[in-house]
Structure 1
Amino acid sequence: MDTHVTEIAPDVYRFSTYVSDADIVFNQFLVNAEEPLLFHTGLRLLFPLVSAAVEQVAPVERLRWITFGHLEADECGAMNAWLAAAPRAEVAHGALGCMVSVNDLADRPPRPLQDGEVLDLGGRRVRRIETPHVPHGWDAGLLFEETTGTLLCGDLFTAVGAGPASTEQEITGPALRAEDVFGATCLTPATGPTIRALAGLRPTTLALMHGPAFTGDCVQSLHDLADAYDERLAAEGVRLHGPVPPVPAARG
């Protein structure tokens, strides 16, 4: 396996490792600023590869923030390895996730982030956005790098296969095909509205954890994904409960 490095936006770097056994890429992202921030730690097994790749951009020991979307091995499995390699680094995660998991799992106390809280990295600013259960995980959330318009969107738009480092080709179709394989998204009445709220940020780059960085029409893609999940939720309701009967006309 090799980890490839791509600058997907000014000072935002993608570290991508294709795992052929799973036919999927695992991506981590570095926002290289005065206080460098890592989004996703990767699996523990991948730490030697990914940390060596990060060293091509910035010394690992300079890392100030270690972040991730939600508790899952590929998102935070190597968390303590990064903490050991970067003595000044703090884990920053949503307050709920810190309370229920990270306070116990991390080797150093984490920094809990509130919904909408901004970390000023010095030259770059990242905002925590809570997205509970979207696409999955009670503690789920994303980061938005405000100065470059980069949405670090975790497992949203997950696709299978190796793929390019970046693309302007549509990403909703591949995401729905992957959803047919994995069934990883929580379909609830909040799923579509949560994704549409992300479109309101008007991102210019979508940094996918399992797929290429997308630099096409990000707003439309988020609306398309939200619409597709709404349709699937409605279809599931019909399958379980049958068609909704018409409301009788009022008398009088």
Structure 2
Amino acid sequence: MTTCVDEISDGIFRISTFVPEVAAPAGFTFNQYLIVGDEPLLFHTGHRRLFPAVHEAVARVIKPERLRWISFGHVEADECGAMNLWLAAAPSAEIAHGAIGCDVSLSDLADRPPRVLADGEVIDLGGKRIRYIDTPHTPHGWDAGLLFEETTSTLLCGDLFTQAGQSKALTESDIVGPASEAEDLFGFSSLHPEMGATIRRLASLAPKTLALMHGPAFAGDACAAIDALADDYDRRTMAWREKNALAA
């Protein structure tokens, strides 16, 4: 496995490891995003077994012990499996997450008490500002949430727009079609009536860059991509309703 580091927006670095045996034969990327400021933040920690590679990658940009904040979309191994290893490596670092994630999981799982973020709360990183956004059950997980970096208008998308295969760091090519194909393959999302609306609200942030956890960062028409993804999930939810209505 090779872990690559690319700056996808000013001061935001995509740390990406391609794992060919996941979703073979296409393979799968696992991405973390390092936001550099006076108080650097790492979004996603990666699995515990990827910690040495991700730690080395962070060290290409900053001294890892400088890390001040650790966040992620929801509690899952690929998002936060290495969080306690990072807390040990960065003595001043704090986990930052929404209230549900902290109350249900992180207050017990994390080796240091987490910082509880309210929906819409902003942390000033010094040169960068991140806003926390609750997205419960979207794409999955009651505790799900995202971060928006305001100075670069970069939306850290978590599992939204997940796609299989290896990709370059930054693209303007279609990300909605591959995301729909990945949903067909994995069925990873929690379909529910509010899902499309929850995704569609993200367009109001007017992001310029979408930072995918599994796939490339996207620098095309982000609002159009968000709306199209929401439409796809509305279609899936309606199809699920109709299928179950017929079954009843």
Tell me the TM-score normalised to structure 2 length. Answer: 0.97
Give the whole-Å Cα distance in 1 for the aligned partners of 2:50 and 2:236: 35
In structure 1, the gaps of 5 or more residues are 244-252
Paired with 1:223 and 1:234, the residues of 2 have a C-alpha distance of 16
Task: Name the counterpart of 1:12.
Answer: 12
Identity of aligned residues (%): 62
Cα deviation digits, residues 88-120 of structure 1 (max 9, x gap): 101111111101100000011110101000000
Structure 1: 4+ residue segments shifted above 3 A: none
The structure with the largest alpha-carbon Rg is 1
Q: For residue 195 of structure 1, what is the aligned residue in structure 2?
A: 199
Distance 2:168 2:59 in 1: 22
Q: Number of paired residues?
A: 243
* 2:158 alignment partner, SS class: coil
Deviations for 1:124-147, whole angstroms, at most 9, x for unmatched residues? 000000000000000000000000
From 68, 77, 82, the counterpart of 1:78: 82
The structure 2 residue matched to 1:54, chosen from 46, 55, 58, is 58
* Offset at residue 2 of structure 1 (A): 1.1
Give unmatched runs, 5+ long, in structure 2: none
Pairwise CA distance, 1:242: 3.4
2:228 paired residue number: 224
- Provide the secondary structure at the position in 2 that maps to 1:153: strand
User: SS of 1:242's equivalent?
Assistant: helix
Instruction: Report what 2:216 is aligned to.
Output: 212
CA–CA distance in structure 2, aligned partners of residues 84 and 232 of structure 1: 42
CA displacement, residues 142-170 of structure 1 (integer Å, 9 cap, x when unaligned)? 00000000000100000001111111001
- 2:184 is the counterpart of 1:164: no
Q: Distance in 1 between matches of 2:214 and 2:121?
A: 26
Q: Is residue 184 of structure 1 aligned with residue 188 of structure 2?
A: yes
- Cα distance in 2 for partners of 1:156, 1:27 equals 13
Report what 1:134 is aligned to. 138
Q: What residue number does 2:113 align with?
A: 109
CA distance in 2, matches of 1:235, 1:190: 15
1:241 and 2:237 are equivalent in the alignment: no
For 2:122, the equivalent position in structure 1 comes to 118
Deviations 1:199-245 (A, max 9, x none): 110100000000000000000000000001101111111111139xx
Give the TM-score taking structure 1 as reference length: 0.95
- SS of match in other structure, 2:205: coil
Q: Distance in 2 between matches of 1:39 and 1:232?
A: 29
Q: For 2:125 and 2:217, how far apart are their aligned partners in 1?
A: 22
Q: Secondary structure at 1:193's aligned position in 2?
A: helix
Alignment partners' CA distance in 1, 2:72 and 2:92: 17
- Give 1:89's aligned residue: 93
Letter in 2 for 1:30: L
The secondary structure found in structure 2 opposite 1:74 is helix
Aligned residue type for 1:103: S
Distance in 2 separating the partners of 1:75 and 1:114 = 20
Aligned to 2:21: 21
- The 3-state SS of whatever aligns with 2:196 is helix
> What's the secondary structure of 2:180's corresponding residue?
helix
Confirm whether residue 155 of structure 1 aligns to residue 159 of structure 2.
yes
